[in-house]
A and B are shown apart, each in its own frame.
Chain A
C-alpha cells in the first residue's frame, strides 16, 4: 500500500502476557518513529530508528519495552509482561528525512492495545 500500515489494529490481552505490534513503513522511508497516545496525554515518544539502528531509545518507559527494525523496513514493538497502564494507542510514523522537516511524518492508524 501507499501508506504506513500497522497491525493489528486492535489488540486485547491479559495482564502479564507479551504482545508484538508491527509497523510497515512507506517504502524508501529511512526514519521510523514509535509513539504512544494515551487519553489526555498527547503523543509520547518511545523510540526512533534511522535505518536499522536506534540512536534514540530514551522514550521507552521500561525494560519491558523493546523494538527492532529489520532490512530498513518493518519494525516490531514488543511489550513483555503487559500491565494495565500499557493500554494506549501505539502509533508508528515514517519519513524520508530524519529530521521530519524536509518531508513530513506519515503516520499509521495505530494499534489500540487494551490490557485487561
Chain B
C-alpha cells in the first residue's frame, strides 16, 4: 500500500481533459511538502513532468498542469493526445518514520 494514494487508472478521448489525483496525509502533503509528478512510458525511465506542485520543467508541454491544496494534489492534462498514454506517479517527502521520499501507486492513463 503506497503512502500517497492515486487512482489505478483513468481514461479519456483525444482532445479531452483528464485529472489524476494524489492524496496524502498530515506527514507528507499536509505538512507542506511539495508534490512532483512523473510520466513513465512502459519500458522506459520516468520523466519529470511537474515540479513543486505546479511548475513545468523546460520541454514539458503546457497541456500538463498541477496543483496542490492541503493533503491533496492533482495532475491535469488538457487536449489529450495519443502520446500521453503512460503511467503517471506523484512523489513527495514524508517524515512519519524519518526522512524519506514516497511515491503514489501510479495511475495508468489510457487514451481511447
- Decide whether A and B are members of one complex: no
| Contacts from B to A (Cβ < 8 Å) | none
Listed in ascending order, the chain A residues whose CB lies under 8 Å from chain B are none
